[in-house]
Amino acid sequence: MQKIFILLIVLFFLSSSISAQETLKLSIEEIQRLGLEANGLVLAARSQVNISEAGVVAASAFPNPEVTVMAGPVTRRLPESLTGPAAGQRVVTVNQPIENPFMRQARIASAEAGVEANRASFDQVRADLAAQIRVRAYELILRQKQAEIEAGIYELLEDVRQRIKLNVERGEAARFELIRADTEVQSAANRKEAAHLIAQQARISLMQLTAGALPLNFEVSASLDDPDNLPSMEILRQEVPNVNPDVVRLQAEQERAKMRIDQERASVLPSLNVLYTNHQDAQFNANTVGVSVRVPLFYRRRGEIDTAIYDAARIRDTLEYRRYEVGQLFEIAWQALQIAKRRVEMFEGGLIKEAENAVRVAQAAYRFGERGLIELLDTQRVLRGIQNDSLQARFDLQAAAAEIDRLRAYYPKEHTVE
């Protein structure tokens, strides 16, 4: 809360300096692009993909030979007349491991599956962030609209207060009416200020998601009435569980676990080392070639193989549950979308217009003295409640659509740097 308060103060002092500047209007896709390029979590996930790609290079490398050089003097144990003059000796040994081709293939395939898993995680981070940015952008629009409603109510009540004040001064109304009007105006002013601060908080939240890439004078070029542009339910029901990044990641993890089983099983096979030794002394120069074989006689890596098998089973079960869970999350989001659409249709069916007509009738009746202040305030409260509910329904529709797009990893990928 302290950070938000500080940011609100900064925005308040900078508002005067940017008011004269031209407002920069950005679409939601443009804001998403800025966030995907600047957010640190996305950059960290991209680095993780680069790390896994470097791991493939390491897994594909051939083992290096080992060279051992030993040298030292030769000490006589017999007289020089029998052994000749003393000299030194030198031994050079080269050890070249010959890698098991089955284990090598499994290791490389496991590293490549790790790359796919990290790419899916990267895609998940981007999809989550893009959905959050989209929801925050529409929330900013919602809060701004609510602030406009509260500002309109304040202006209306202030106008009513001025009329009551004139009537009180002329003796045509009791002073109690002015006190009541002052109370309502003060309450409306408080709601107006609170709505403005909430809108500023929504702006700050959106700027935080984009890591400060948004300018202070930006405006969201969108509307709560924007169409969702979603495919049909049947298409999405087949698409979402297959393209969801978390499901794709688990599929890659499952493939990597299978390759680990093959790698552990291949490691049981005998491993070879080719040896070459050159020995030189005062009299002889010897070259020796041999083979070193590691024979898995006593331990055949049963523990490591079982661990890999159980780990693969764990990932397989997790994958099946996650695929089912993603399908259910889609069903929930789709139902939320349909509920929001029905609510929007209800408000568009004339409910708001009827409430607005009721306010206009109450205002006219109040001017002619046929209705009191309480009736006018009641109709105004009803209209404000209906308007807020209508805006909330439209926001809920956009949030449900953003959740569906998040589940299917639909966002402006063409604008991001791979």
Q: What is the pLDDT of residues 346-381, one digit of tens each?
A: 888 778 788 878 877 777 776 766 666 677 777 888
Determine the Cα–Cα distance for residues 336 and 339; give it in Å rounded to an integer: 5
Residue 373 covered by a domain: yes
* Residue whose tokens read 């007289």: 79
Question: CA 104 to CA 102: how far, in whole Å?
Answer: 5
Reference 404, options 300, 333, 319; nearest CA is 333
User: Which whole-number Å values give the CA distances from 396 to 197, 228, 378, in the listed order?
Assistant: 21, 12, 27
Residue 159 DSSP one-character state? H
26-41 pLDDT, tens digit per residue, is 999 999 999 999 999 9
Tell me how far apart the terminal alpha carbons of the chain are, to the nearest angstrom.
36
> Which residues partner with 92 through β-bridges?
69, 278
> Residue 49 has what pLDDT?
94
Q: What is the pLDDT of residue 353?
A: 80
Q: Which two tokens stand for residue 307?
A: 């661990």
Q: How far apart are CA 33 and CA 36, in angstroms?
A: 5
278 has which bridge partners? Answer: 92, 287
Please tell me the predicted confidence (pLDDT) of residue 86.
62
Query: What's the pLDDT at 234?
Result: 92
Q: How far apart are CA 119 and CA 413, in angstroms?
A: 13
- Structural domain includes residue 17: no
The three-state secondary structure class of 276 is strand
Determine, yes or no, domain membership for 16.
Answer: no
Instruction: Confirm whether 20 is domain-assigned.
Output: no
pLDDT at 16: 46
Number of compact structural domains in the chain: 1
* Rounded CA separation 149/224 (Å): 15
What is the model's pLDDT at position 274?
93
Give me the residues of the chain with pLDDT under 50, please.
5, 7-20, 414-418
- pLDDT, residue 416, reads 42
pTM, 2 dp: 0.82
Domain annotation covers residue 358: yes
Predicted confidence at residue 199, as pLDDT, reads 93
**Backbone phi, then psi, for 277, in 5-degree steps?**
-130, 135
CATH label of the domain that carries residue 327: 1.20.1600.10
* 353 belongs to a structural domain: yes
In a domain, 96, yes or no: yes
CA dihedral 250, 255, 258, 260 (to 10 degrees): -90
> Is 134 inside any structural domain?
yes
Domain that includes residue 319, residue range:
27-71+87-415
pLDDT given at position 356: 77
Which letter does DSSP use for residue 349 in this model? I
